[in-house]
Amino acid sequence: MIQSTRLRAILLLLLASSMFSLGGVFIKLSSWEALPLNGARSGISAVIIAIAMRKMGGPGYSWPKFNRNMILGAVAYTLTNLTFIIATKMTTAANAIFLQFTAPIWVILGSFFFLAEKPRWIDWAAVGLIIPGMALFFADQLSTEGFYGNIVAIISGVCMASMVMLLRSQHGNAGEIVVFGAALAFLIGLPFIFTEDFSSTNVLLVLGLGIFQIGISFIFYTIAIKHLSAVETIVIMAIEPILNPIWVALFAGETPGFYAIMGSVIVVIAIIGRVIFSVQDNPVGLEA
C-alpha cells in the first residue's frame, strides 16, 4: 500500500512537472502581453485550485484569516509569475526557466544576509557553481532585449526565493496563498485583458496555461510532495526546466545557444547536488 502510494506520488509529480514545462511554449506562441496573459491564466487557475482545495479539505474546511506573511507570499507569487512571463517574452525560454531555477541560491544568500543563518559548505559550493553558470547565459545574448530579459529572469528567481520562504513560514496555508496571489494577478491584469486579440489560438493558449500549466499541475504537485523526499522532489521537478526549452524548440522554433546550454547543465547539477548532499548531512529534514 505504501509502495503504491509512493509510486502514484512519483507519477503525479512527473505529470505536474511536465505540465509546468508547457509554460514557455504557450507564452511564446501567444501574442498577448505579459500583464494580461498572467492575469488571465491566474484567474482561471485560482478558480480551479480553490475548488480543489475545498473538495480535498472536506466538510470542515474553512478559509484561514490572512496575516502579513500570507499577504507578502501572495504578492511574491504574483511577481514570480509575472516576471517569468516578461522574461520569456524578452529572452529565450531556456534562459528564462533556468535563471529562474536559481531560486534556491537566493534563498541561501537571503538566509545568510537577512536571517543571520550560517550556510554550510555545500551551500557556498552551489553558489560558486551557479554564479559562473548564470554568466554563461549572457554570452549568447548579444541583443539588448535578450540581455534585459536575462536580468528579469534573475529577478524572477529572487521573487521565487521570497515566495518559497514565505510559503514555508505559512506551509499550512500554502494553497490559500497561491489562490490569493493568483486572484491578485487577475485583478492587476484585468483592465488590459480586453485590449488583447481573442483569436481562437490565443484563447486556447490562455485556457491551457490556466487549466493545465498552473491549475491542475499545482493540485498534482501538492498531493505528490506529501509522500516524497526532498531529493525525489527536486530531481523530478528538474524535468520542468529541461522540457521547457525542448517544447519551445519543437513548436516555436527557438533554440538556446551553446553557452546557454552549458549554463543550464551547471545550474541543474548545482541545485540537485546541493539538495542531495544536504539530505545526507541532515537526513531528518532539509532546509531550503
Read off the pLDDT of residues 131-153 as tens digits, 9 standing for 90 and up. 888 888 887 655 667 889 999 99
Q: Quick one: pLDDT band at residue 213, thresholds 50, 70, 90?
A: very high
C-alpha cell at position 16: 505536474
Residues 228, 150: Cα–Cα separation, whole Å: 32
Quick check: is 287 in a domain? no
Residues 277, 275: Cα–Cα separation, whole Å: 6
C-alpha cell at position 261: 546550454
Q: Quick one: pLDDT band at residue 217, thresholds 50, 70, 90?
A: very high
C-alpha cell at position 22: 508547457
Query: Residue 120 is part of which domain span?
Result: 2-281
pLDDT of 157 reads 92
Quick check: is 286 in a domain? no
Residue 77 near residue 182, CB atoms below 8 Å: yes
Lowest mean pLDDT among 143-157, 196-210, 274-288: 274-288
Q: Quick one: pLDDT band at residue 6, thresholds 50, 70, 90?
A: confident
C-alpha cell at position 72: 507578502
Quick check: is 145 in a domain? yes
Q: How many domains does the chain have?
A: 1
Neighbours of 125 (CB within 10 A): 15
Quick check: is 288 in a domain? no
C-alpha cell at position 67: 496575516
pLDDT of 218 reads 92
Asked whether residue 257 carries a pLDDT value surpassing 80, the answer given is: yes
Quick check: is 45 in a domain? yes
Neighbours of 8 (CB within 10 A): 13
- Looking from the CA of 269 toward its CB, the CA atoms found within 13 Å total 14
SS3 134: helix
Neighbours of 234 (CB within 10 A): 20
Quick check: is 275 in a domain? yes
Asked whether residue 4 carries a pLDDT value surpassing 90, the answer given is: no
Read off the pLDDT of residues 66-84 as tens digits, 9 standing for 90 and up. 888 889 999 999 999 999 9
What's 102's DSSP letter? Answer: T
C-alpha cell at position 145: 532585449
Residue 117 contacts by C-beta under 8 Å, 6 or more apart in sequence? 111
The pTM (predicted TM-score) of the whole model is 0.86
Asked whether residue 277 carries a pLDDT value surpassing 80, the answer given is: no
Quick check: is 25 in a domain? yes
Q: 191-198 long-range CB contacts below 8 Å, 24 or more apart? A: 192/33, 192/35, 192/36, 192/39, 193/36, 193/39, 193/40, 195/36, 196/31, 196/32, 196/33, 196/36, 196/37, 197/31, 197/32
Quick check: is 233 in a domain? yes
pLDDT of 159 reads 94
